[in-house]
Chain A
Amino acid sequence: MQRRAFLQFLTAAASVGAVFPSALRAAAKDPLALSAQRFNAARKIHPILAGWESISPPGTGFADAEIKGHWPKALRGTLFRNGPGLFERGGQRYQHWFDGDGLIQAWRIGETGIRHHSRFVDTKKHRRENKSGRFEVMAAGTTIPNARAVSGPDDVNTANISVMQLGGKTYALWEAGSAFEINSETLATVGAKVWRDDLEGVAFSAHPVYEPDGSIWNVGLFDKQMIIYHVGADGQLISAELVALAQSGYMHSFTATATQLVFVLAPMVKVRDAGSYFEGLGWLPEQGSLMVIVPKSDLSKPRFVNFESGAAYHYADAWDEPDGAIALRACWYKTDAAFVSPLQNYMQGDVVSRATAAPNLVEIRLAKNAKRAEVNATAHSLVEFPIQTRLMRQSALLMLQGRQSNKHGMLSALLYADPSGKRLAHFDFGDDFALEEQLFVRAGGKNYALGTIFNVKTARTGIVLFDLKNINDGPIAQAWLDRAMPLGFHGTFVAA
């Protein structure tokens, strides 16, 4: 019988409170309808809000991008991007950027030019809500009045965080539910990926860590249970290990040294048994952050270390030191204030200028046999989206940077830096641009950074290409759509 597993499910849910609990009573005035009205009125005046404007399902057809500069012949392939692309239904608007259904964008960089198209991931939620024309289930950060009951996270899965290519297949990734396989050419959804029978519907998060052999590590979290995946370069599951945690917390990504997987859970815990997931979280600094260190050679032997409270969406790099210590660099938020709902003002149609809320780069060090990890500041502030530098020299960092003086509070610069503080190269597009995640791409023996960019003044979306040897002079090539696409989170480049 299934007694133990189901009881575990029930007990977990009871201890943390309902993840997506009962619908709230409808407010006298529907705040989601008011939000839609406010956003759409503001959108007519402020082009920057195009970054949070809905795309109509099923997506956008092929469009040729306007080419600028020189695109190297050796660089051919597809830049896949993922992010929330649908924010309103039935006159209601989400309040939180992370809520929108996942929209996969493909920038096809070919011989004759660069073409763009996009398509929503056809999750259960997306299909159900397309049919009814209204929000049906609780969103990640918005309470949906009269939301229907759900069985598990996959009922609310938006598949909106990143894209992974593995074993010749392309996947849209979320962090609390299944990965969705998508057709690499058409972007049509193939279906939810089941890595193994007992892993159906289990979280497969959005930041897999690659090994030199092309295999990946990944993680899924459900209350105080964590699953660690190792999947081969051929896309076949090598192993999956369940780790029991003494405390719950929030985790978006993780990192790894050559020998250890390192997971950090922020002290964000379900404290309110009402509303959406993010609305129900509380910041519990007394609990501290939890570091879980798991040897790659034996996933059944995790170590747990508590340390000072903080949270990171993203990690730059991690390494083993000769004395047995491990160290990692993270874009670190000291509290949940700027962490829990980034750029919420724009999502809600509020264009009042506010300070850039990006985190600072820290180095987190755990000495051999130490009971606590230490968090040390670095010289780099207002940095996010560190670039996975597994193919670059480890001592240099590539990331996006903001500026307190940026009038839109957006990240606008590409920074190439020495971790000791030296700025090796830097290019700032200025206040009229929001630079999105840049990916490390190697083509024709050269190293590039490739990623999307949004012109907040003209409401156009494009891609830019940097030669990493010459960042200071700006991008060597660009390609621009004549329209805006919603701002996204992460992606991957797949060479042709």
Chain B
Amino acid sequence: MKSIASIFAAMFVIASNAGAASLTIDITDVTASTGTIGIQLVDSKAVFDGGGKPVAARQIKASGANMVSVTFEELKPGKYAVMVMHDENDNGKLDSNIFGIPKEGYGFSNNPNVMRRPTFDEAMIEMAAEDKAITINIL
């Protein structure tokens, strides 16, 4: 299993896919007004676990707004998961305490209530031919 931090590094690679539907993600509870919010869309368990490139990724500078939105276009029907990391101090990693509990914000599609890294299935969303909108709460 690769760490969230290594996936975060890969987020900056943006791939594109031909398709029809768009996915709009509202990211709420952005409490820190500094740093960069990285959003990554993946389409398999392997990539979710860090074994490949995401379908799409985006990064947004935090501005103090409690909510930010991003839309990924032209997605093929299928199973996806979204991972969000808020690198609040822009040091390129998800800071954690000595117990390994993250000190910076993160979130996943479906907002799984698990106080650990969710599985792909727990974070999985289905895209059909229609546009879709979801909300991810930053923890």
Q: Which residues of A contact B (CB under 8 A)?
A: 1-3, 5-10, 12-14, 18-23, 138, 147-153, 155, 198-203, 222, 225, 227, 240, 242
Contacts and interface: CB of A to CB of B under 8 A. Distances in A.
Contact of A2 (B96, B113, B114): B96
Interface residues of chain B: helix, strand, loop or mixed (majority)? loop
Contacts of A3: 2-3, 5-6
30 contacts: A1-B5, A1-B6, A1-B9, A1-B92, A2-B93, A5-B97, A5-B100, A6-B5, A6-B96, A6-B100, A6-B102, A6-B117, A9-B96, A9-B101, A12-B99, A12-B116, A18-B115, A20-B113, A21-B113, A22-B114, A23-B113, A148-B113, A149-B113, A149-B137, A150-B113, A150-B115, A151-B139, A198-B98, A227-B99, A240-B98
Contacts of B92: 1
B115 A2 contact: no
B35 interface: no
A22 B115 contact: no
A22 B113 contact: yes
Given A13-B114, A22-B114, 10 more contacts: A10-B100, A10-B116, A13-B117, A14-B116, A21-B115, A138-B113, A147-B113, A149-B111, A149-B112, A152-B115
A1 B102 CA distance: 13
Interface of B: 1-6, 9, 92-103, 105-106, 111-117, 137, 139
Nearest to B112: A149
Contact of A202 (B1, B6, B97, B139): B97
Nearest to B31: A124
A147 B113 CA distance: 8
Across the A-B interface, the 8 shortest Cβ-Cβ residue pairs: A13-B116, A9-B100, A151-B139, A3-B3, A8-B100, A149-B113, A152-B101, A5-B100
A151 B98 contact: no
Contact of A7 (B1, B98, B103, B115): B1
Contacts of B9: 1
Nearest to B103: A200
B121 to A, nearest CB: 12
Nearest to B107: A149
Contacts of A20: 113, 115
Contacts, number: 114
Nearest to B139: A151
A1 B139 contact: no
A1 B93 CA distance: 6
A313 B94 CA distance: 36
Contacts of B137: 148-149
A261 to B, nearest CB: 18
Contacts of B100: 5-10, 12
Contacts of A203: 99
A149 B114 contact: yes
Contacts of A14: 116
B101 A2 contact: no
A201 B49 CA distance: 26
A326 B34 CA distance: 52
B25 to A, nearest CB: 16
